[in-house]
């Protein structure tokens, strides 16, 4: 699966930081991520990531609009119980269900019941003190935008007093921009 993810992503070699007047703050080099962490940092869009995940699971095994209430795990695998009283058994449980993940909440509850420590920040309610506008372009050509010819998806961050702007190329033919208003 990692090969498929690499096909729809770009390695991130560095993150450039500048102020809103474009004076340089610094650079975080990520070229040695593989030796430090075992994998390189990559940039890809969420839809591309989902497409790779979904391509690995037969369509008849994917159930949409289910609400998980709990799960149990043992040597045989994992069993989940849903709000419609159905149960499902499998080998692994993947939580890709958003910021208020039911999978994560059930995992934390299970950890607490077993006497394991859950980081305080993970247990705190999410607070949103900013607004973010995210844009991803339609497919572009390298002739129009030469940055797309590069084989790295370097990340650029402009740090402002009232907003932060982040830009990157996230796949071979897309540009991504995030503007966060504080």
In order, the DSSP letters of 78-118 are EEEEETTS-EEEES-----S-TT-HHHHHHHHHHHHTT---
User: What pLDDT does 172 receive?
Assistant: 60
Give the residue from 157, 150, 156 showing the smallest Cα distance to 172. 150
pLDDT for position 180:
67
Tell me what pLDDT residue 102 has. Answer: 85
168: β partners: 155, 176
At 173 the pLDDT is 66
* pLDDT of the residue at 78: 93
Beta-bridge mates of residue 68? 82
Strand pairing of 14-19 and 155-159? parallel
> What pLDDT does residue 128 have?
72
pLDDT of residue 182: 56
CB 40 within 8 A of CB 34: yes
- Looking at residue 61, the DSSP 8-state letter turns out to be G
pTM of the predicted model, to two decimals?
Answer: 0.64
pLDDT in tens, the chain (182 residues): 889 998 888 888 888 899 888 899 999 888 778 888 888 888 888 888 889 989 998 988 888 888 889 998 888 899 999 999 999 999 988 777 776 788 888 888 888 999 999 888 887 877 777 677 777 778 777 788 777 777 677 778 888 888 788 777 666 666 666 666 65
Measured distance CA(172)–CA(101) in Å, rounded? 30
Q: Cα–chain-centroid distance for residue 119?
A: 20
Q: Which residue's entry shows tokens 């372009």? A: 137
- CATH topology for 2-181 is D-Amino Acid Oxidase; Chain A, domain 2 (3.30.9)
CB 153 within 8 A of CB 40: no
């Amino acid at each position: 699966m990692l090969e498929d993810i690499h096909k729809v992503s770009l390695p991130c070699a560095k993150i450039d930081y500048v102020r809103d007047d474009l004076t340089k703050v610094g650079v975080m080099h990520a070229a040695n991520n593989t030796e430090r962490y075992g994998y390189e940092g990559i940039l890809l869009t969420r839809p591309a990531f989902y497409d790779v995940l979904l391509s690995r699971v037969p369509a008849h095994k994917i159930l949409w609009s289910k609400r998980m209430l709990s799960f149990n795990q043992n040597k045989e695998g994992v069993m989940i119980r849903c709000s419609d009283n159905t149960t499902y058994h499998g080998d692994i449980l993947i939580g890709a269900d958003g910021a208020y993940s039911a999978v994560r909440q059930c995992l934390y509850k299970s950890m607490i019941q077993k006497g394991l420590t859950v980081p305080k920040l993970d247990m705190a309610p999410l607070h949103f003190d900013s607004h973010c506008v995210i844009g991803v372009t339609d497919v572009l050509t390298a002739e129009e935008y030469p940055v797309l010819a590069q084989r790295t998806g370097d990340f650029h961050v402009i740090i402002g007093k009232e907003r932060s702007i982040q830009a990157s190329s996230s796949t071979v033919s897309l540009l991504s921009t995030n503007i966060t208003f504080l």
